[in-house]
Amino acid sequence: MAARDDPQFAKDIFKGTAVNAIVAYQDHQFDLLEDALSSMPMDYRKTPFRQHIIDSTPMLVIRARVEKMLWHQRLGHPCDEYLYNAHKWVDGVPVCV
């Protein structure tokens, strides 16, 4: 049975991909911040930065990444060039993937 024939499976795939993208984004942002603060005195690093990052994650940015990843998977893992031009040949593929 294909994913398009099982709506629950498709929802589960989307949720799993979205959660992974959110966590990866937040971890990356925290790592960048941690590197930037590494030379600062310890008093400045006591702020709960990870929680601030979690609370202010831009969901629209992550949604675009998830959508691109899902289309990449759905179309058989094409390279970026083919994925960006897929809307010309495949109905339903958004123009700005």
* pLDDT tens, position by position, 66-90: 777 788 888 888 888 888 888 888 7
Whether the predicted pLDDT of 2 surpasses 70: no
Token look-up 């390279």 returns 79
Residue 1 confidence (pLDDT): 43
- The pTM of this model reads 0.44
DSSP 31-93: HHHHHHHTTS-GGGG-S-HHHHHHHT--HHHHHHHHHHHHHHHHTTS--HHHHHHGGGTSTT-
Question: pLDDT per residue over 14-67, tens digit each?
Answer: 666 777 777 888 888 888 888 888 888 877 767 787 777 777 777 666 777 777
